[in-house]
A = this chain, B = another copy of it.
Amino acid sequence: MSSQAQKGACLSLGKETRCMTCSLSSLCLPLSLNLEDIDQLDRIIKRRQPLKKGDHLFRQGDNFDSVYAVRSGSLKNYIMTNDGEEQITNFHLPSELVGLDGVDCSSYPVSSKALETTTVCEIPYSRLQNLAQELPDLRNQIFSSMSKEIRDDKQMMLLLSKKNAEERIATFLANLSSRFKRRGYSAYTFRLPMSRNEIGNYLGLAVETVSRVFTRFQTLQLIAVNGKEVHITDRQQLQQVAGVTECEIEQPSKLIAS
């Protein structure tokens, strides 16, 4: 478990860790920043102590000062409803940026909590802002990340407003599969970092429904599940149930493609 969590982390840990040598840099900095630019970015990034499962990276209402890149582990972001219920708005895997939705607020509009032992790179926003002025590529990268988040959110709205339970879960699994694949893990066998409860919360379904659909998908030979371990037996069929074509699941951005 610990070894799996480390796979996505930087090659050399400790104080000497640099963006330039980080195995994630091609994902969290997909544009071709030149070496000098990377070096500048490197200098403002703080490496933090790992978060333990259940620790908060930040809480809704906390003073907004930094954005974060996940290095290993995973996070859930959630907002609170008036009656104290939580609504999960996102799960974050290694290389993904967290906290950009706080940019124009004095405080974070969501809470972010570790689902397992998790390490992040902290990027103080005020310094990022200064740096963005000098580095057009970096600035575009931030625009790009935000714009991707907006697009993903629209897809999520579609899911929540039009898809039934089976389609939601198929979409969720196919999406996770693509994200793991992109990060060099298997697209077919992976471990869910979140509970059934959290999946249901995120997808707008009751836990029981999540459980039932998992069982149904196993009967249909689409997946094989053992606790949190998932094996996708028929990826194509799963994507068909999801009602999406491959490219919709994780659309490569213009900048990555070029």
Interface residues of A (CB under 8 A from B): 79, 81-83, 85, 87, 89, 100-106, 109-110, 129, 132-133, 136, 139-140, 142-151, 153-158, 160-162, 201-204, 243-245, 251, 253-255
Contacts and interface: CB of A to CB of B under 8 A. Distances in A.
Given A245-B82, A254-B105, A146 B157 contact: no
Contacts of A203: 161
Q: Indicate the member of A89, A148, A202, A251 with the most B CB atoms within 10 Å.
A: A89
A162 B87 contact: yes
Contacts of A202: 161
Contacts of A101: 147, 150-151, 154
Given A103-B144, A133-B136, A150-B149, A157 B81 contact: no
Contacts of A253: 104-105
B160 A255 contact: no
B132 A139 contact: yes
Nearest to A107: B254
Given A82-B243, A89-B157, A105-B253, A100 B147 contact: yes
A79 B147 contact: no
Contacts of A87: 154, 157-158, 161-162
A25 to B, nearest CB: 18
Which label, helix, strand, loop or mixed, suits the secondary structure of the A interface? helix
Contacts of A155: 79
A146 B104 CA distance: 9
A136 B139 CA distance: 11
Q: Indicate the member of A101, A143, A147, A150 with the most B CB atoms within 10 Å.
A: A150
A255 B143 contact: no
Given A103-B144, A136-B133, A151 B82 contact: no
Contact of A147 (B85, B105, B106): B105
Contacts of A103: 143-144, 146-147
Contact of A104 (B83, B144, B244): B144
Contact of A160 (B100, B143, B148, B160): B160
A251 B110 CA distance: 14
29 contacts: A79-B154, A81-B158, A81-B162, A82-B245, A89-B157, A100-B147, A101-B150, A101-B154, A102-B147, A103-B143, A103-B146, A104-B145, A104-B253, A104-B255, A105-B254, A129-B136, A132-B139, A133-B133, A133-B136, A133-B139, A139-B139, A142-B143, A146-B150, A150-B150, A153-B157, A160-B204, A161-B203, A161-B204, A162-B204
